[in-house]
Amino acid sequence: MSAISRFGTLLGLIAIVALFSALSPGSFAQASNLINITQQMSLLAIVALGATFVMSLSEFDLSVGAVVSMSGIVSVSLFALGWGIVPTIAITLLAGFAVGCASGFLIATWRMPSFIMTLAMGTIIGGITFWASGGATLFGSIPDGFRNLGRGYLAGIPVLTLWALTTTVFAALVLDHTEPGRRMLAIGGNREAARLTGVRIVPTSVLAFGLCTLLAALAGLLLTARLGSAHPTGGAGFLLQAYAAVFLGMTAFRDGQPNAAGTLVGAAIIAVVANGLTILGVPNYLQDIFTGLIIIGAVLVRNIGHSER
């Protein structure tokens, strides 16, 4: 893999930043705005890093948006019942992890298509979340200590940015430096070959799907902490952009393989484009069109790279 291929996506991000800086030097190019972008992309990056685990299996989990919403509703509901911060976070993360484990078990054991299985699981979770909240935004009695998890700065860096960086390090360590992570990549590369070499498909798949929805639940908690409320469809917007970030990341650093650093760069590209277009006054619907074009472009680059090997 050449240096241009390895770092091309990162250079593309730098070029996009330079372009918007030239078009709007008085707004976009300000240090405060660039720091703000890192905060804006943090939740998307966390959800996308979770999706990276599943994409390492060459599978999809379409329930991540529903799990983000569920996480917020569960946490606010528990706070309303008088639960403390630590048990509320623990139960919410456990619930998110359980959703992914259930999907992963059914997919790996019964060879159900992940696209269909997780779409159904997301629909079920979304329905339960809507029922539990009555379809309304919940405010509850959210403690100030919990709100601080998604707000404020530490050493001049937004707390949410630090969460995204920490999650990136975690995902990179699991995928690149642990046996389960290497098994995930082996299954994604060639499932049958991985099985024949002794890789246990079911537990590895269950773990990958569990980690995916665990990080989605974490993003839901941080979103709730930041907003001070939870909406039953608050996580719906993460699904498409999270996979766009993963696909973009697959064109960076490695030859078509999901990786944590690439996913972070992918999330940054989406956030920079959204921020830059907003500053330039481009309507939201055009931003959606650009996001869709970015996804198509990333998939084309990945497929062209494969066809040339």
pLDDT band per the 50, 70, 90 thresholds, residue 53: very high
Nearest to 13 by CA among 301, 264, 292, 280: 264
Q: Domain limits of the chain?
A: 33-235
Q: 33-235: which CATH number, 3.30.390.50, 1.10.3470.10, 3.40.50.2300, 3.40.50.1360? A: 1.10.3470.10
- Rounded distance between C-alpha atoms, residue 295 and residue 309, angstroms: 22
- Taking alpha carbons only, the member of 103, 101, 98, 97 closest to residue 118 is 103
Per-residue pLDDT of 120-138, as tens digits, reads 999 999 999 999 999 899 8
45, with CB counted inside 10 A (0-12, 13-18, 19+), is buried
The answer to whether the beta carbons of residues 215 and 50 sit under 8 Å apart is: yes
The owner of tokens 């389960």 is: 180
Q: Is 158 helix (H, G, I), strand (E, B) or coil?
A: strand
Whole-model pTM?
0.92
Q: pLDDT for 260-306, tens place per residue?
A: 999 999 999 999 988 998 888 888 788 778 777 877 776 676 666 55
pLDDT at site 308 = 55
The pLDDT value given to residue 301: 67
Q: Is the pLDDT of residue 236 over 80?
A: yes
Look over the chain and give the mean of its residue pLDDT values, rounded to a whole number. Answer: 89
Is the distance from CB of 81 to CB of 272 less than 8 angstroms? no
The contacts found for 78-82 with CB under 8 angstroms, 24 or more apart, are 79/140, 79/141, 79/142, 79/143, 79/146, 80/138, 80/140, 80/141
